[in-house]
Every structure is written in structure tokens, then in C-alpha cells.
Structure 1
Amino acid sequence: MRILIIEDDQQTSEYIAKGFSEAGHNAEVITEGRNALSHAAGEEYDVLIVDRMLPGLDGLSIVKALRAAGIKTPVLFLTSVGGLDDRVEGLEAGGDDYLVKPFAFSELAARVNALHRRPPFQSETNVISVADLEVDLIRRTVRRSGKIIDLQPREFRLLEVLVRNEGRVLTRTMLLERVWDFHFDPKTSVVETHISRLRTKIDKPFPIQLLHTVRNTGYSLHAPH
């Protein structure tokens, strides 16, 4: 097994690398975030062990960038940031498992082995369809009833989040985090403005409404029941 350890604490990284090397695995260590992203994106690894707090680029951003690029290498977050919200954030960013420091190497090894035993990811479809709306995630194109719809990059990202969560209600806070990467309320109408623009483009020219406002809650994209 080839393992990339992304960890800036020398004592911790050496301890982990030694443990996996003694077990017969190839364990590499990178201590800086941007360098780690380059390696993880450009080479083949079986599992990534990622600390969240890193110089250059934090672990959460590394994993988000990998997932956005379509790289499905299993990721285990190994970090001292261990609150419930932190664990949820790590998993929603694309992590597959989350282990909080201090840790026992035996548990770390068992979790890494479990990730490695998982069946390989099947290729994710490039096109997500909701009724007659088609969103091509690779070509970054949108069609409805065969008609091409021109979206700005942020509008496309908003639509992508909505179609990936078809039928779910996404709150304003959730959209601020997932589309704009805001982890605070900017006290602006940016969400409402972009929802209005998106609705004008994907809904108003067509007879069936797909983008719905759920009063006092958020927004949902789905075909009428």
C-alpha cells in the first residue's frame, strides 16, 4: 500500500511513517499544504492521511481541491480539531474517515486498512439530470429541454450544489458555505440575488418550475411531485 502522510509535526509524521513502513507499506511524508496537494493530485496513492492544520494550505482545502478535480483517493483526516462540527465539516469536504489526536497507531492502521479494502470508486456520471434539466459537470454546460443555458461560474456552482442535493432543502447558511466558502454571515443578499438570477435562466422560460423556495428555510431543486 502506498500512503501519503500530510502532517507538519515531525514527531507525529515520523511515528506514523515508521509504523506503516514496519508493516511493509510505502509511506511518504509531506509537511506543507501546497506541495502536498501537488503530490496528491499528480501521483497515485492508496490512502491519504491528512492533518487539517498545515502551513501553506490547510488540509480541508487540500481535500476539497482534490475532490473538485475528480480525485477519489480515500482520505483519513488525522487532527487535533475534533469537535462534532469539525468532523462533519471534514467529511462533507470529501474526507472518508476522521480520527482525532491523540491516537493509537493500531486504530489508525485499522482505519487505513479498512479504507484500502473498500471497493474502487465507480466513475461518477458526468451529467446530472433533474426532469429536462441536464448539468454536465465536466464540460460545465447546462441544458434544459435541449436548449443551452449560459451561466456565470458562481451561478453554475450554485446550480451544481442544488442538483447534487436534488429534493433536499438547502439553507442560506449551507449555500454560503458550499458555494461561496463563507463560514460567517456576510450580511448581504448574495444568496437571494444568485437564486433569482438562476431562476430567471433555468425556470422562467420553461413551463415547469424546478427551483423552489421553502419559506423561512431555504431552497430546493426538484421536479414537481
Structure 2
Amino acid sequence: MRVLIVEDEVDLAAMLAEGLRAEGMVCEVAHDGARALEMTAAADFDVLLLDRHLPKLSGDAVCRALNTAGYPARILMLTAAGALADLVDGLGQGADDYLAKPFSYLELIARLRALGRRSPAGSSATVLSRHGVNLDTVRRVAERDGRPMKLTPKELGVLELLLAADGAPVPTEQLRDSLWDAALDPATTAVRVTVHSLRRKLGEPPLITNDPGYGYRL
């Protein structure tokens, strides 16, 4: 599941991104409403985790713009207010669900997964397939030629990005930025080690190839 976090509190956004990536979700971050619209214009997301009070362009305005454009992602709106009037108003802007701060992390994960199952963006590609490899992006299970594979959340995230690329190379930087915390040292071998482990678990014949100086493809 591909999630865009739109949150102007930098520390909170980083914490949420780290947590969602640990759950195996492909996650990107925008810190204002205008940037969120730029990112949704360039990529498809299954769910937006959207703070209502944002600089440059409010969460309400982002909601209205995406709904007017027919953008298919589901929207989970976050706000510091928990009154019924705010809930009704937030949903009236086009949000699919609403969560008041402070919130339970477990409830957030449950709500995101529920919206991911309902997402038109994700429903057309709930199962990604290539060369006998199938990945259910909602249930987070993968198999090759009918053989179930036991993958870590990071391995599932890498496999999802490679499958979604449909044979095109995925830059190492994209894998790192989408699946690891922003504080990860670019020189770390985390991406290479994870790809190596995934390649081993996929078995023979090998499917993941390395484009030197660029990234990986399936």
C-alpha cells in the first residue's frame, strides 16, 4: 500500500513515516498542502494521511482539489480538534475518514489498512504479478509459482516497488527514501542487504538484476 503523509510537524511526520514503513507500507512525505498536490499529480497513492491544518494550502483545500480532479486515493484526515462539528466538516470536504489528535498508533494502522482495502487506486492493483511472483499489497503476503514466501516488511516494500515498476529499473535512492527513515545514512548498505536477502528468498532462477550506478529491476 502506498501512503502519502501530509503533515507540517516535521518530527511527527518522520515518526509516522518510520512506523508505517516498518509495517511494510511504501511511504512518502509532504510538509505542506501545495507540495502534496504536486506529489499526487506525479504519482498514484492508495491513501493520503492528511493533516487538516497545513501551511500554503489547507488540508480542506487539498481534499476539495483532489476530489474535483477525481483523484482515486482515499483520504484519512488528521486534526487536533475532536468535536463532532469538526468531524462532520472534515468529512464534508471529501475525506473518507477522520482521526483526532492525539490518536492511538494501532488505531491509525487499522484505519489505513481499512481504507487501503477500499481504495480505487489500490483495488485495480491489489495483487501485483510478474514472472510468477504475486504480491497482495493489502494482505502483505507474497508467493512465487504458488510457493508462499516469508518476507520481512522491508523486503515486502522493496518487492512492491519492483513489481509496480513493471520491469523498469527502480533507483536505489527511491527504494531508500520510500522504505527507510529519512535519517538513514545514504552510504549505508541497508538497501543492498535487503535486496540481496529478497533475491535469495525469491529462489531460482534469479529475478532481480542490478543496473550498476542506478538501481534494481525485476
| TM, length-normalised to structure 1 | 0.52
Q: Which residue of structure 2 lines up, in the alignment, with residue 76 of structure 1?
A: 76
What's the secondary structure of 2:120's corresponding residue?
coil
Structure 2 vs 1, CA of residues 83 and 41 (structure 1 numbering), >3 Å: closer, same or farther?
Answer: farther
1:46-65 to 2 correspondences below 5 Å = 46-65=46-65
What's the secondary structure of 2:99's corresponding residue?
strand
Structure 2 vs 1, CA of residues 61 and 21 (structure 1 numbering), >3 Å: closer, same or farther?
Answer: same
Q: Which residue of structure 1 lines up, in the alignment, with residue 8 of structure 2?
A: 8
Could you give the per-residue CA deviations for residues 1-56 of structure 1, whole angstroms, max 9, x where no partner exists? Answer: 11000000012111111111111111111101111112123310010000011110
Higher relative contact order (CA 8 A, sep 6+): 2
Q: CA RMSD in A?
A: 1.3
Query: Which deviates more from structure 2 when the two are superposed, residues 8-17 or residues 48-57?
Result: 8-17
Distance in 2, matches of 1:7 and 1:44, equals 18
1:122-137 to 2 correspondences below 5 Å = none
Q: Which residue of structure 1 lines up, in the alignment, with residue 45 of structure 2?
A: 45
Task: Give the superposition deviation at 1:117.
Answer: 0.9
Distance in 2, matches of 1:47 and 1:86, equals 21
- Unaligned runs of at least 5 residues, structure 2: 122-218
How many residue pairs match? The answer is: 121
Q: Which residue of structure 2 lines up, in the alignment, with residue 106 of structure 1?
A: 106
- Unaligned runs of at least 5 residues, structure 1: 122-225
What's the secondary structure of 1:50's corresponding residue?
strand
Q: Which residue of structure 2 lines up, in the alignment, with residue 17 of structure 1?
A: 17
Distance in 1, matches of 2:8 and 2:63, equals 16
Could you give the per-residue CA deviations for residues 154-188 of structure 1, whole angstroms, max 9, x where no partner exists? Answer: xxxxxxxxxxxxxxxxxxxxxxxxxxxxxxxxxxx
What's the secondary structure of 1:87's corresponding residue?
helix
Distance in 1, matches of 2:17 and 2:105, equals 11
1:182-201 to 2 correspondences below 5 Å = none
Distance in 1, matches of 2:32 and 2:116, equals 24
- 8 Å CA contact 1:6, 1:33 repeated in 2: yes
For the pair shown, the structure with the greater C-alpha radius of gyration is: 1
Task: Give the superposition deviation at 1:119.
Answer: 6.0
Percent identity, aligned pairs only, is: 45
Partner AA of 1:65 in structure 2: A
| TM, length-normalised to structure 2 | 0.53
- 8 Å CA contact 1:49, 1:75 repeated in 2: yes
Structure 2 vs 1, CA of residues 101 and 119 (structure 1 numbering), >3 Å: closer, same or farther?
Answer: closer
Distance in 1, matches of 2:35 and 2:79, equals 19
1:200-215 to 2 correspondences below 5 Å = none
Partner AA of 1:56 in structure 2: K
Could you give the per-residue CA deviations for residues 94-122 of structure 1, whole angstroms, max 9, x where no partner exists? Answer: 1000000001111100000000112638x
Task: Give the superposition deviation at 1:81.
Answer: 2.4
- 8 Å CA contact 2:3, 2:27 repeated in 1: yes
Distance in 2, matches of 1:65 and 1:43, equals 15
What's the secondary structure of 1:89's corresponding residue?
helix
